[in-house]
Structures are given as C-alpha cells and as structure tokens.
Chain A
Amino acid sequence: MKTLLRESLTTSLNLLAFSVIGAALLVLAYNATHAAIEASETASKQALLAQTLPQGGFDNDLVRAARPVPADPLLGLKRPGLAYPARLGGAPAGVVLEVVAPDGYSGEIRLLVGVLADGRIGGVRVTAHRETPGLGDYIDIAKGNWITQFVGKSAQEPGAEGWKVKKDGGRFDYAAGATITPRAVVKAVYGALRYFEAHRAELLQPTEASQP
C-alpha cells in the first residue's frame, strides 16, 4: 500500500514537473512573439479597412477609432460588431461597418462595408467566407473584381429594386452557376446602407477618443 502511494505521488510530481517546464517554455514563446503578433494583426486590419475607403479619403487611425455597434438585423450581426469612423482633417468622412451576410451558400460571409459621409459606398471587402472554391469565391478580391462594382452606389441609386443581382431584376452582375453567393452579398451591402441611413448622425459623430 505504501509503495503504491509513493509511486503515484512520484508519478504525479513527475507529470507536474513536465507541465511546469512546458508552461515556462510557452511563456517564453508568448513573450517573444506577442508584440509582433499584435503589430502584424493591426497592420493587416488597417490595410483591409483602407481598401474600403477611397485613397486619401481619411487621415485617422481607423483601428483606434473603432467603437462598438449593437447587434442589428440590417447588419446581419448576432453579436455586437464594430464600426470604424473615418475622418479627414477632423471632419467626418465616412464609416466602415462590420457586416455579415448570413445566407451565403456555405454559411456566413463576413464583410467590411465602407460608407462615405454622403451615403455612397467607398468599397466592400470580404473578410471571411466558405463559398465553393472556383465557383462562389469570386466575391473575394483575390479571385476577381466583382466586389468593386459596389463602389459609388448608394441606397437611393439604384434603389430597392436595383439592389438585386441581374437574374432577380436588379443591377448587379453575378456568375452563372453561383447566384446564391452574390445574392447574399448584395443583400447584406444594401442592409448596411439602410443601417447607415437610419443611424447616420451617431455613426458619423466624433468619438471621444479622437477628440484632441
């Protein structure tokens, strides 16, 4: 009985020792990479956000200006998302909204929609999707220019009837054989524009953090 007790004790101490060594190594690795990870994440997010607004159309740090937006069906969000107010020389220039198209062919399509202060689209980018490779993935800027046709459109132009793919009588192109994907994206972008119209004042108003 005593040997059994001693054996299980030494075994567990042994496992504990390995765990401590492992944890210590991970602390070292984390500390060595933490700053670089944060910097590269912020840089790539900034680069992506900048693509949704015209070049030179803003001069503030979008990532730092980010503020929470409550979940709203127009944005397709089930949880609160983020809005990135853009400013040029201190004046509101527009806002980048996080938008989800919930009805893609293979689940959610996550988007960033840049809306200029006058309600026109500055740009749209897909940040995450699971659409069929080679078929529905042309919504990704890496695979095609489809996503750029939103630039300059607004909720009034082309209007509710026009905010559909051509197959449904609207104004937006789609690729034959993959209609569900563009249909979901068009609907989500139009939703974002209507959300912007409804909340224009609060979305454009300056954040406390960006005040000097």
Chain B
Amino acid sequence: MTAITRDQVAHLAALAHIEMDETELESMSSELDGIVGAVQSVSAAPIDDVPPTSHPLPLSNAFREDVVGETLTNDEALNNAPDAEDGQFKVPAILDED
C-alpha cells in the first residue's frame, strides 16, 4: 500500500518553497513511503481512551512575567542578514515569482 505519493511530495515541496526535480520527487516519495510503512504498526495500537499527546512532558502553564528583558541592538539584529538597508532586513521582491 502506498501512503505517500509523488503528488503529495510535490505539493509539500511547493508549500515549503523547495525546488525538486522529477528524480528527487520519485526517490523522496519512495523513501518517505518506506518510513511511514515502517512506523505503520502504531496505527494498530488501541488508543481510543488515550488523549492526544502534544508534549512529552506532563507540564502546563509555563508562564513568564510580563517584564521587559534584554534586547538585541540593531547592529546585532542585522548581523546575519544577507542584505540590509536603513536598519531593516532587505528581502527580494515578494511578488516576483508570480
């Protein structure tokens, strides 16, 4: 049974803005399908009475006081920016790809 198809991978690649050629799509879908198949046995587990787990630790309400802490300087903030202008991050035209 195929769980992950080539088209699903193509769709995910598009959502993630990752360019993949036909060979990559084929190999990736087959690899992902293998992984899903390997863990498929968990779907046989009786989980009707088990609430979904969203976090491995049994913690809740980890809150922070609303107090201002240290911030980065503008120079520090832009230190790793590929491009910057007027203290701001400079990014390529957003609608260029359309």
Partners in one complex: no
